[in-house]
Amino acid sequence: MARPFPPYTNTLSRVIVFGLFVSPILIGWIATAINWSPYINETNIPRNQPVPFSHKHHVGGLGLDCRYCHTTVETTSFANIPPIHTCMTCHSQIWKDSPMLAPIRDSYASDIPVQWTRVNFVPDFVYFNHSIHVNKGIGCETCHGRVDEMPLTARGQPLMMAWCLNCHRNPERYVRPREDVFIMGYQPPENQLTLGRQLVQQYHIRKLQDCYTCHR
Amino acid sequence: MPPIEREKGKGRREEGEEKRENPGSQFPIPLHEEMDPAMDRRAFLTLLGASLALAGLSGCTLRPPDEKIVPYVHPPDADEMTPGKPLFYATACPRNGYVDGVLVTSREGRPIKIEGNLLHPASLGASDAITQATLLEMYDPDRSQQVMHRGLPGTWDAFLGEANTYMQAQRAVRGAGLRVLTGSVTSPTLVAQIRAMQAQLPAMQWHQHEPISRDNVRAGAQMAFGRYADTLYDFTQSAVIVSLDGDFLLSMPGHVRYARDYAASRRVRTKACGPGQPAREIMSRLYVAESMPTLTGTMADHRLPLRARDIENVARALAQQVGVNGVAPTEPLPPEVAEWVAVAARDLQAFRGAGVIVPGDFQPPAVHALAHAMNAALGNTGKAVRYIAPVEAEPMDQAASFRKLVQDMQAGQVQMLIILSSNPVYTSPADLDFAGAMAKVPMSVHLGLYDDETSALCQWHIPETHYLETWSDGRAYDGTTTIMQPLIAPLYDNTRSAHELLDALLVPPGRAGHDIVKTFWSGQHRGADFEAFWRKSLNDGVAAHPLSLRRRGGTELSSGASVAGQVSLQAANPTSQPGSPSPVPGGGGLELIFRPDPTIWDGRYANNGWLQELPKPLTKLTWDNAVLMSPRTAEKLGLTRQGGTPGTHPESVPVVELRYRGRSVRGPVLILPGHPDGSATVTLGYGRTRAGHVGTGAGFNAYALRTSDALWHDDGLEIVRTDDLFSLGVTHSHQTMEGRDIVRIGSITQFRKDPHNPDGKEHVPNKPPMILPEAPPLPPSEYAWGMSIDNNVCIGCNACVVACQAENNIPVVGKEQVLGGREMHWLRIDRYYTGMDMERPTGTYFMPIPCMQCEKAPCELVCPVDATLHSDDGLNMMVYNRCVGTRYCSNNCPYKVRRFNFLQYADIAPVIQLMRNPEVTVRSRGVMEKCTYCVQRIQNAKIDAEVQDRKVGGDEVQTACQQACPTNAIVFGDINQPDSQVAQLKAEPHDYPLLAELGTRPRTTYLARLVNPNPEMRAE
Amino acid sequence: MAVEHESRQKGLNPPEPVLLPGQTYASIDEQISAIVLKRPLTPGWLFGTLLSFAFIMLLTFTIVYLIARGIGIWGVDVPVAWGFAIANFVWWIGIGHAGTLISAILLLLNQKWRTSINRFAEAMTLFAVACAGLFPLLHLGRPWAFYWLFPYPNTMALWPQFRSPLIWDFFAVSTYLTVSLLFWYQGLIPDAAAVRDRAQNPLKRLFFGIVSLGWRGSAIHWKYYESSYWLLAALATPLVVSVHSIVSMDFAVGIVPGWHSTIFPPYFVAGAIFSGFAMVLTLAIPLRKFYHLEDMVTLRHLENMGKIVLATSLVVAYGYFQETLMAWYSGDRFEWYMVQDRAFGNYSFAFWLLLLCNVVAPQTLWVRKWRTNVLWLFVLSLIVQIGMWTERVVIVVQSLHRDFMPSAWHMYYPTVWDWAALTGSLGLFAGLFFLFIRILPMIPTHEVQKLAHEREPHPERENPAAAAKARP
């Protein structure tokens, strides 16, 4: 009787059988890749802001200290966004007519706050505390990247749990002397590990892998 | 962190508005949008739906939608607040006129937690369940937000206009047609305002109506001293306490302080364990004769259940035996009663000057008079018992006053009636037709938190500001005066405080509350620097002022023989005394007893979800009231529990009809072991018709049976069984411990013999031998958190439960879910009876059950996704965001302390969200949760300490339950530090872990319950 | 045939043959593939299918509502945090046992009577496991996060918790499903080829052509086929034991009185085989009737299965006894209370019901008359199903509702949605099975033909009467 299938179906079937085994692995791998990619964790994706504020200019150029605007970073969990008042300390003098800064001036006049787009944030069930990190010698740069090189601010690091744990598990790799915390472009010394261990001792940094460290 | 001086030169309102504009950067949207009164919950929900849909769309990009972040325009002052740091302000929580000092936590300008005020004598840092729950009251979405005129929205100005015309008319007639109706008033400012009004309009009248009135107390003092006086007890001074239906642990003014003192007289330690816990192996002895089971009764060493009307007779017998002249029981005592009296009397005699007799607020004046006489005769007066001039500004016979008001209204003599924060239409006695009389009043004004039964019948309803939004003042049970400061600007623009309303009526348009109160006090202040006084008073929450008498010394009333003389004469024939109920049974039948509800009080908290769902201390009933009676009485009436009828919940109980003095209501029956026979108790406050979404329709209205001549109890009740069944949300239905080693109960004598086994039983060692090789102990860590709970002083008052609920954003689930066994309280208080006969249980014992934080936790082993595991410092962590909800951990938890979000329980009403504690994750549907030892407090303490390069102190961290506990029964801290209080308590010999035989090694351990029975008394 | 020789020598009355005479290669081939190819839609089949699809709709609706509202639509609470869902899961997994047991273990033991029933027994296994698989997913509080139970490289740098029996479950069940599937499919290949060759309708030829993976029945094919079939059988055999042992550990590992017991693994496996064979009976009896397969699924099969049911029922009974004995002997206060409560507490009716169904009723099978009474076997199989389901419910619910803290004790009342999920899963099972019998050959043609072949040389000696009947 006539064969229902042309010969090439043999090959086809072999390919299919093979694919049945390979494809799950392949799909899994692709999914993982996407999951870890900047597309998901938004690293280095500048955000549009009502006013195109440039950290590159203010920090890199003018050399403002982080704490000039983010005043509460050393004392509270929250590194505050500067009040419009802070902007106006300078911009009531310089660039005071620049159209770019109109929203700032309006806000200051009308007493209605500007709504910035948030760049760095973690989910609500993560309780991140700035003061403790800053006081234990974790540089701003370590989590926020080279802010002084960002014309428009973008997320400097993935801020995913795996990334946090990376440091929480071996702080000695990232800790720096307290005085250098606010320095951008800090070059870790060759003996970072030895120095790190020493600092971990000195600053009394302990094991930080309990869920309750961040989740409550 | 000490209370921070908050007062500013200008009125709080303006600041508040500024705060609203600048909600603090953590808010994605400006607060005033969230709080737009025009947007009701439903509107918000629709919006939410829309935004969710949007989120869904943007979800296609696998990215969260952009989040906005809003800075301040002008930075707030440092002492005003720093975003991310809590502030604490002292104020006071009023109830029935009396206030309790509180310290309120504020985050970004929002009050989120109420604690007791350490500096306030009525609190000493502790608080009670209701005070804790008043926080929710402020954020209640059902609060009245709009001036109402004859049921339609009106405006404040329109009201002022109309009110003025009436005021003018009244001025013409010297106020003859003007009536002001308030509850009991202790607020000096308010009194001053009313007096000012009276000065202008001499003929006006001020009436008082407090549903939970203390007329008996006042009348009793009248009998004893010929004048009003308040009684203060100092239980720390007392070796023998006799309570004649006096529930001083839960319902009396000052009960929080009383509980603290009482606990001090009962606490047993083999060695000193930190502050307030000296080494002592003696206990005071408590005799209680009561007409229904109360917390005080459960603590008694010798409890005597009696019908309410028999208490007076017992009081007389007792008085006779302790040597009050000219008193004798009117009828012979049954033998066991006689024995109880004799033993108690001997004990009192033995400890002259170190005893207290406490009469119940709800007992007739004669009992009070007798108690005063006994205390005097025994020389207790001036030691454990003290008398002070009345704290109320104008004590009066409120029943009479209210009756008079109704008569005047019916006679059409009332042109203008001002009702200040009271709900008489609902709470008035049934025999006075107040509602009907309202119709005859041309101008009636109601100021209240809710648009309630009364406001429905008033021409005008003015929404009232909550006390957390109000400048005011008030006095505590002992006269301590507090100037109350607001924590936040009024959430709703149209609201007014009583002060503002009266002020506006007297001098339109009236001043802001801040100015009224401050002006009054500047008038009162005699010293030089008023500002200093003002700031200090606000800061401490206690006014440094002579008005605040009885804090130290102060004017005592005459005591001793003279008092005794007066009393014995008058008390000899108390039936002639006014106010006392007819001693002769009104037509026989059962006795009906009215009592305030332990959770929603007189009904004013009926719309408070926390309180509605709070299991009542003894019945563990939620969301309803019931007809309480003893098992035998129920049996006699054929009302024993039954169920299984199709269509009803399988555990339904029969509904009965209560017929009493020609009126009747229907209510479900709940059998309460230890309730005296031949009487039935109903609690007030339920059956509201206009309470709000939460409270309306819950339970049945007992006021409908209550008459003004017998407010608290009388005979003549007839109970008729109906065919209906009703399901009650009881969270703890099993009565006994099934002989398991749960609450260890021993006597003080046995304790002195063998402190390790006070109950004289053999116990499994705390670390039982294992078949398997011992798991290695936890690795040594810097901290080891632990908790010690002293069953001996736990009075089961529920303060900790609500404190926990407020601190940890625990949702309210509603009656249906409670019926399904899904209540969410992380901390529950178990109640067990002992003895074979539930008719007369030999004892009732409470046991707070938080998570035991087992060192070898069964729950951790079985979680497939590591959502619950152990931390270095010994906490059993629960990670909500990792939980997938297999509920295996709950099955495997022997203590059943885990709670599961079977449905979406967390309330997403915007106003409620403002109340949330930002330090605690709000759990979504499908997630397990449980007590965390308030880990947010631990973590913040750690961080603060670390920033300062120091170690967290052993007693530095306080859990919410510990902080609220009136009796210091709960102590939390670091076990690693031997000097910490918890470490010392765990070293006490009678410390034991719950269900030790399971080898779970709980971090929460208990101290055995001890009793101090009188050997002379025959064992029951 | 060896078996039968002996039995005759012992002078026992000769047992029914596993294949009635008169069946030749052709007739077998013809009859079986006819069911798939020629037989028109019968109203009975149509009705059954539609009915079961109605229940599948119910299940779908329940699931949608469940995902929308949350697990709270079921009767679960604290303390009884597991309810019907888990009981159904255990029950279905149990049913899934018989298939692999028959096809793998009996194959290795060279039991001829397995041949004609193993195909649909295996199908039953697959469908039962599919139904079972539903419940662990649905009973999660957050079903959409189920994949967290699977170890994969995630941005949270977290693993599942391998100490948890639920993880073991996850792997045990999925492995079992995979192996059963392969085993079933391989057995199917030659038959599919046979059907393919008979099929007239080009679509059917295409379908069966694909299914049969180009099988031509050449010697080399058969060589590989045999070896791999036996390999798979050897692989499946330990799984039969492992799956339900591990499922039982969901309970045995817990500390709940009534769960925490070492007897559980064997006792659960026995229970599984018990209910499994009961289910095979439930299916086989109507099948042989409606499709006239009495020749291939003979009384011999039914009787043997009856015997197995009887045997496993005894093992299960022993399990009950052991539990009670140990509770008393251990002197554990909680265990002993649990036993008392089981017998006389709130759920005692369920306990006595399960004893009646699982222990008392099967004893009738000691009597050959009953054992060979097809109707009774059918009824009994249903009774056993009910009994075993009740047992699962009692183990899950009754143990939980009163454990250590009397204060936390609370009843469990199933809601309409609990029942909907259960009946829905039954519908799913039935629906799949109806499709199966229409679409695929439900009896392994080639294996039955082998039987016929083995018998060829001497049909007369088998059963002269029948032989005579066969040759008119």
The whole-number mean pLDDT for each consecutive block of 10 residues of chain C, a chain of 472 residues, reads 43 59 71 71 87 94 93 92 93 87 80 79 89 92 90 87 91 89 87 83 84 86 89 87 90 91 90 90 88 80 88 93 90 90 90 92 90 90 93 93 91 92 94 87 77 60 49 40
Q: Quote the CA–CA distance of B747 and B1012 in Å, as a whole number.
A: 6
Does the beta-carbon distance from C155 to A10 stay under 8 Å? no
φ and ψ of B825, to 5 deg: -55, 125
pLDDT at B208 over 50: yes
Q: Under DSSP, is residue B320 helix (H, G, I), strand (E, B) or coil? A: helix
Size of interface A-B (CB pairs under 8 A): 129
Q: Quote the CA–CA distance of C110 and C98 in Å, as a whole number.
A: 16
Which residues lie closer than 8 Å to C229 by C-beta, 6 or more apart?
C107, C183, C186, C187
**Closest A-chain CA to C213:** A13
Measure B735 CA to nearest chain C CA, in Å.
8
φ and ψ of B666, to 5 deg: -110, 140
Q: Which of A97-106, B336-345, B619-628, C437-446 bottoms out in mean pLDDT, i.e. has the lowest?
A: C437-446
Stated length of chain A:
216
The percentage of residues in chain B with a pLDDT greater than 70, rounded to a whole number, is 86
Q: Quote the CA–CA distance of B774 and B762 in Å, as a whole number.
A: 23
Q: Where are the alpha helices (DSSP H) in B267-307?
A: 295-299
Which residues of chain A make contact with C206, given a CB cutoff of 8 A?
A: 4
Residue with tokens 């030892």: B933
Q: Which of A5-9, B324-328, B552-556, B731-735 bottoms out in mean pLDDT, i.e. has the lowest?
A: B552-556
Is residue A52 reached through a cis peptide bond, with omega within 30 degrees of 0 on the bond before it? Answer: no
| Mean predicted confidence (pLDDT) in B591-601 | 93
Q: Which token pair is B956?
A: 């530095």
Distances (CA, A) of B25 to B16, B29, B75: 16, 9, 11
pLDDT at B299 over 60: yes
Which residues of chain C make contact with A162, given a CB cutoff of 8 A?
A: 154-157
Indicate the pLDDT class of residue B769, thresholds 50, 70 and 90.
low
Residues 241-260 of B with CB under 8 A from A: none
Which residues of chain C make contact with A161, given a CB cutoff of 8 A?
A: 155-158
Q: Under DSSP, is residue B93 helix (H, G, I), strand (E, B) or coil? A: strand
Does the beta-carbon distance from B885 to C140 stay under 8 Å? yes
Stated length of chain B:
1020
Q: Which token pair is A21?
A: 């085994």
pLDDT of residue B46: 46
Does the beta-carbon distance from A212 to B939 stay under 8 Å? yes
pLDDT of residue C240: 84
Which residues of chain B make contact with C77, given a CB cutoff of 8 A?
A: 820-822, 902
pLDDT of residue C11: 44
Question: Model ipTM?
Answer: 0.89
B924 in contact with A, Cβ within 8 Å: no
Nearest to A4 among C155, C158, C205 (CB): C205
Q: For B280-290, b where at least 16 C-beta lie within 10 A, e where not — what string?
A: eeebbbbbbbb
pLDDT of residue B281: 86
Does the beta-carbon distance from A207 to B872 stay under 8 Å? yes
Measure B885 CA to nearest chain C CA, in Å.
4
Measure A214 CA to nearest chain B CA, in Å.
9
Indicate the pLDDT class of residue B909, thresholds 50, 70 and 90.
confident
pLDDT of residue C288: 84
Test the B interface: residue of C86, C255, C259 with most B CBs within 10 Å: C255
| Mean predicted confidence (pLDDT) in B54-74 | 64
**Residue C343 CB neighbours (<10 A):** 13
Does the beta-carbon distance from B895 to C410 stay under 8 Å? no
Which residues lie closer than 8 Å to A14 by C-beta, 6 or more apart?
none
CA atoms within 13 A on the CB side of B985: 34
| Mean predicted confidence (pLDDT) in B956-961 | 93
pLDDT at B20 over 70: no
**Closest C-chain CA to B824:** C78
pLDDT of residue B567: 46
Does the beta-carbon distance from B865 to C160 stay under 8 Å? yes
Does the beta-carbon distance from C77 to B821 stay under 8 Å? yes
Nearest to B864 among C142, C160, C413 (CB): C160
Q: Under DSSP, is residue B786 helix (H, G, I), strand (E, B) or coil? A: strand
B858 in contact with C, Cβ within 8 Å: yes
Does the beta-carbon distance from A4 to C196 stay under 8 Å? yes
CA atoms within 13 A on the CB side of B508: 14
Q: Quote the CA–CA distance of B487 and B491 in Å, as a whole number.
A: 11
Q: Quote the CA–CA distance of B211 and B706 in Å, as a whole number.
A: 10
Test the B interface: residue of C404, C415, C417 with most B CBs within 10 Å: C404
Between C423 and B226, the higher pLDDT residue:
C423
Does the beta-carbon distance from A162 to C197 stay under 8 Å? no
Which residues of chain B make contact with A216, given a CB cutoff of 8 A?
A: 919-921, 932, 935-936, 939
Measure B491 CA to nearest chain A CA, in Å.
20
Of B5-19, B111-125, B517-531, the range with the highest mean pLDDT is B111-125
The percentage of residues in chain A with a pLDDT greater than 90, rounded to a whole number, is 22
pLDDT in tens, C42-75: 888 899 999 999 999 999 999 999 999 999 999 9
Is the CB of residue B387 less than 8 Å from the CB of residue B202? no
Distances (CA, A) of B762 to A184, A209, B142, C337: 68, 42, 55, 20
Q: Quote the CA–CA distance of B524 and C448 in Å, as a whole number.
A: 109
pLDDT in tens, B247-279: 999 989 999 999 999 999 999 998 888 888 888
Q: Which of A159-163, B4-8, B991-995, C233-237 bottoms out in mean pLDDT, i.e. has the lowest?
A: B4-8
The percentage of residues in chain B with a pLDDT greater than 90, rounded to a whole number, is 53
Which chains form contacts with chain C, at 3 or more CB pairs under 8 Å?
A: A, B
Q: Quote the CA–CA distance of C222 and C231 in Å, as a whole number.
A: 14
pLDDT in tens, C323-359: 999 989 988 889 999 999 999 988 989 999 999 999 9
Distances (CA, A) of B465 to B141, B149, B493: 14, 18, 9
pLDDT of residue C14: 56
Measure B995 CA to nearest chain A CA, in Å.
27
Q: How far apart are the first and last CA of chain B?
A: 50
Indicate the pLDDT class of residue B28, thresholds 50, 70 and 90.
very low
Does the beta-carbon distance from B936 to A216 stay under 8 Å? yes
CA atoms within 13 A on the CB side of A191: 5
Residues 337-356 of C with CB under 8 A from B: 337
Distances (CA, A) of A107 to A55, A112, B80, B104: 21, 5, 22, 33
pLDDT at B582 over 50: no
Q: Under DSSP, is residue B207 helix (H, G, I), strand (E, B) or coil? A: strand
Does the beta-carbon distance from B822 to C72 stay under 8 Å? yes
**Closest B-chain CA to A106:** B73
| Mean predicted confidence (pLDDT) in B284-288 | 93
Does the beta-carbon distance from A35 to C154 stay under 8 Å? yes
Task: Note the maximum CA span of chain A.
Answer: 96
Q: Which of B357, B341, B319 is nearest to B242 (CA)?
A: B357
CA atoms within 13 A on the CB side of B549: 16
Tell me the DSSP string of B702-741: GGGG-BTTBSSEEEEEEEEEEEEEE--EES----S-TT-S
Residue C173 host element (H or E): helix C165-198
pLDDT at B40 over 50: no
Does the beta-carbon distance from A4 to C206 stay under 8 Å? yes
**Residue C247 CB neighbours (<10 A):** 27
**Closest C-chain CA to B999:** C255
Torsion sign, CA atoms B717, B720, B721, B725: negative
pLDDT of residue B12: 32
Q: Under DSSP, is residue B305 helix (H, G, I), strand (E, B) or coil? A: strand
C141 in contact with B, Cβ within 8 Å: yes
Nearest to C157 among A10, A41, A161 (CB): A161
Indicate the pLDDT class of residue B523, thresholds 50, 70 and 90.
confident
Indicate the pLDDT class of residue B26, thresholds 50, 70 and 90.
very low
Q: Which token pair is C124?
A: 């039953």
Q: Quote the CA–CA distance of C408 and C385 in Å, as a whole number.
A: 32
Does the beta-carbon distance from A76 to B84 stay under 8 Å? yes
CA–chain centroid gap for B302, Å, is 26
**Closest B-chain CA to A109:** B73
Size of interface B-C (CB pairs under 8 A): 161
Nearest to B935 among A111, A124, A216 (CB): A216
Q: Quote the CA–CA distance of B601 and C355 in Å, as a whole number.
A: 52
Nearest to C214 among A5, A160, A162 (CB): A5
Measure A189 CA to nearest chain C CA, in Å.
29
Size of interface A-C (CB pairs under 8 A): 33
CA atoms within 13 A on the CB side of B667: 31
Measure A60 CA to nearest chain C CA, in Å.
32
Does the beta-carbon distance from B935 to A136 stay under 8 Å? no
Q: Quote the CA–CA distance of C185 and C119 in Å, as a whole number.
A: 9
Measure A96 CA to nearest chain B CA, in Å.
17
B621 in contact with C, Cβ within 8 Å: no
**In a 10 Å sphere around its CB, with 0-12 CB exposed, 13-18 middle and 19+ buried, how is residue B345 labelled?**
buried
C214 in contact with A, Cβ within 8 Å: yes
Does the beta-carbon distance from C214 to A162 stay under 8 Å? no
Is the CB of residue B912 less than 8 Å from the CB of residue B491? no
Which residues lie closer than 8 Å to B263 by C-beta, 6 or more apart?
B793, B795, B966, B967, B968, B969
Residue B473 host element (H or E): strand B472-475
Between B840 and B803, the higher pLDDT residue:
B803
Residues 142-181 of C with CB under 8 A from A: 152-158
Q: Quote the CA–CA distance of C447 and C429 in Å, as a whole number.
A: 26
pLDDT at B53 over 60: no
C363 in contact with A, Cβ within 8 Å: no
Q: Quote the CA–CA distance of C451 and C457 in Å, as a whole number.
A: 11
Q: For A85-117, b where at least 16 C-beta lie within 10 A, e where not — what string?
A: ebbbeebeeeeeeeeebeebbebbeeeebbbbe
Q: Quote the CA–CA distance of A13 and A30 in Å, as a whole number.
A: 25
